[in-house]
Structure 1
Amino acid sequence: MQNYEDVPFSIIWKYKIKIENKEEFEFEYGKEGTWVRLFSESADYRGSIMYSETILDDTYIVVDTWKDEKSYLTFCKIIEDIYQSIDQEFSSLYIYEERVGGFNQC
């Protein structure tokens, strides 16, 4: 059995956005947006990548990568109130948000 400590961990989110909010969504969830700035406060954050669907221009995948799952969970616990506040503020940008899952690099 593999020890997942110090194994890169990515959490993947899927969004169906409100098309009129496309520009704001791409900024806030993109490489210079609020989420990246917040996550960058942790030395264990490795970065985020946003993908847009090629046919459905209202669908996105965001992949946030961390040093390991423990680092991600620890940081989220520390910033829980801030996280919830930002999440609530930006919920008007999309129709739905789906946590696809958390994945360890093999």
Structure 2
Amino acid sequence: MFQVIWELKVKFKEREKFEKFYDPKGEWVKFFGKSPEYEGTDVLESGEGDGIFLVIDEWSSEEAYNEFVKSRKAEYDLLEEKARAASRTKKRIWINLNPEEE
């Protein structure tokens, strides 16, 4: 499994928009759901009331994620721009939980 973890600081006034965008029926899940290699998205809130969230996208492999994003770059970039309107900052962290053995 490969996970892409995003830390987002959400604008207070845009919280509802953010939650709809990233919920299980939101635009990101619909977009990634076009790939059979996509395994789901989890959204976690910091619990401090500071508008910090982690968005965790799960994929079968890093290669599957990269190929999907590359093959749909224009659509991906459009969604990124729409999502950016709801957040102050966004930081990506890559974690490969089960590296393939050579």
TM-score relative to the length of structure 1: 0.88
State how 1:21-60 maps to structure 2 within 5 Å: 21-60=14-53
How far residue 89 of structure 1 moved from its aligned partner, in angstroms, is 1.9
| 1:65 aligns to 2:58 (yes or no) | yes
The whole-number CA distance in structure 1 between the counterparts of 2:83 and 2:42 is 18
- Aligned counterpart, 1:92: 85
Q: Paired residue for 2:97, among 94, 97, 105?
A: 105
What per-residue deviation string (whole Å, max 9, x for no partner) do you get for residues 1-53 of structure 1? Answer: xxxxxxx1000000001111111101101211100000000000000000011
Q: Paired residue for 1:75, among 59, 68, 71?
A: 68
Letter in 1 for 2:81: Q
State the percentage of identical aligned residues: 28
The runs of 4+ residues in structure 1 deviating greater than 4 Å are none
Listed as ranges, the gaps of 5+ residues in structure 1 are 1-7
The whole-number CA distance in structure 2 between the counterparts of 1:90 and 1:45 is 19
What count of residue pairs does the alignment treat as equivalent? 98
Indicate the RMSD between aligned Cα atoms, in angstroms.
Answer: 1.0
The whole-number CA distance in structure 1 between the counterparts of 2:20 and 2:78 is 18
TM-score relative to the length of structure 2: 0.91
